[in-house]
A = this chain, B = another copy of it.
Amino acid sequence: MRDAYHEELDSLTARLVEMTRLVRSALSRATTALLDADLHLAESVISRDEEIDAIHAEVETRIFELMATQQPVAVDLRTVISALRMATDLERMGDLAEHVAKVARMRHPDTAVPVELRDAIVEMDQVAERLVTKAGTCIATRDVELAKELETDDDAMDRLHRRLFRVLLSQDWAHGMEAAIDLTLIGRYYERYADHAVRVAREVVYLVTGSRTPANVSG
């Protein structure tokens, strides 16, 4: 039988996995809201970000209590420190999904995404969802090899990001400056979302191995 301390750690891990599901759903719905100019859906992403913030606050409070009462050392200390960081990254991913939803809301009843960029946005969403799904699995299973995969998966996002810029900079761009600014920022939100998913996976590597990857220099 496990002790109360490790039961609490398991319960915190489950909350983090739940956060990955919520921020995945938030980005997926924000993307649909953006592409379909769905105001109702955009509003729901924006209002439900509070739920993610609340879980973040709850996880933080519980970790502080755990630290204060159990005073973990070695691998247990790494585990709670990592959990704290992962919660911060996941909360930020929720914010970025909310930013996408806010662009959808701002441009409604128009859509911010012209037809020739719909595919790129759909793919950015798919890459981001794949990353956050894997990050969730990494948290649950502590699978270091899977965690390392995210570093290369993220390259797909960089390629999509470059494709987005090529379209914006082409002679054929006929949607004006406002749409270009929107898409520059939208591209940045998906890219940052993916970066945070990669950071979550790095935390899993850290908590299992105790060492930070060299790639930790940026974020």
Contact = CB atoms under 8 A, between A and B. Distances in A.
Interface of A: 49-50, 53, 57, 64, 67-68, 71, 73-74, 77-78, 81, 84-85, 88, 91-92, 95, 165, 168-169, 173, 177-178, 180-181, 184-185, 188, 212, 216-219
A180 B219 CA distance: 24
Contacts of A178: 169
Nearest to A57: B212
13 contacts: A49-B217, A53-B217, A64-B81, A67-B67, A67-B77, A68-B77, A71-B71, A71-B73, A95-B218, A165-B181, A180-B180, A180-B181, A185-B188
Nearest to A61: B212
Contacts of A92: 219
A88 B180 CA distance: 32
The A contact surface, by secondary structure, is helix
Contacts of A181: 165, 168-169, 180, 184
A77 B53 contact: no
A65 to B, nearest CB: 10
A95 B212 CA distance: 18
A84 B63 CA distance: 14
Given A68-B74, A177-B169, A219 B95 contact: yes
Contact of A64 (B53, B77, B177, B218): B77
A49 B188 CA distance: 21
A58 to B, nearest CB: 12
